[in-house]
Amino acid sequence: MTDVTRILTAIDQGDPRAAAKLLPVVYDELRKLAAQKLSQENPGQTLEATALVHEAYLRLVDGPHSQEWNSRGHFFAAAAEAMRRILVEQARHKRSLKAGGGRLRQEMPDIEPAVDEPDIDLLALNEALAKLESQDKRRADLVKLRFFAGLTIEQAAQALGIATSTADSDWAYARCWLRVEMKRGSE
């Protein structure tokens, strides 16, 4: 049993000091996952990796919906889901009229961006992912682990308890399915 699993078990058993022990153990990994996820976001993202990790951690451990953790993989899968929800909430807020959602960005063609912008509509992805989850939860969970938590195929397969070859084929299927669904939703 790993340190993370022992601490998660203690949290489930009501140990008030266990939550304080968990963050130092998983912080670096969660921070890397959050930084990797935020690097895929459109420029102008105001949420930083540290804030994303802290918000996700609070939702996982201190929130009213805290749950029992079976393993380290289960915890990181839940962390990926929490990060996804936070980013979707952030995207919805930015699109709201109150947050200036009706304003258009003024392009500056003389200035070249340092990196290419990711071309992903997070809200459309969330809707498509919800549809996929209603049809095939395992594949949707795989997408969340790969896309939002930044896990490799091997890590995601281990977290889901499936073979790497199964995760490979599920990943290929889910990516194609989501691409078609998002295209259909934009038309």
Least confident segment among 14-18, 100-104, 136-140, 157-161:
100-104
Residue 35: per-residue pLDDT: 76
Q: What is the pLDDT of residue 90?
A: 82
Query: Token pair of 50, please?
Result: 């540290």
What is the tens place of the pLDDT at every residue in 64-99?
A: 656 666 677 777 788 888 888 888 888 787 777 665
Answer with the residue of higher pLDDT: 10 or 164: 164
Q: Per-residue pLDDT for 185 more than 70?
A: yes
Instruction: Check whether 29 has a pLDDT greater than 60.
Output: yes
Structural domains in the chain, sorted by start: 1-102 (1.10.1740), 120-187 (1.10.10.10)
> What letters, b where the CB count within 10 A reaches 16 and e where it falls short, cover 157-167?
bbbbeeeeeeb
Please tell me the pTM assigned to this model: 0.48
The share of the chain scoring above pLDDT 70, in percent, equals: 75
Can you tell me the distance from the alpha carbon of 30 to that of 180, in angstroms, rounded to the nearest whole number? 31
| pLDDT tens digits along 158-170 | 999 999 999 999 9
Whether pLDDT at 174 is above 60: yes
Backbone region of residue 21 per phi and psi (left: phi > 0; alpha: psi in -120 to 50; beta: other values): alpha
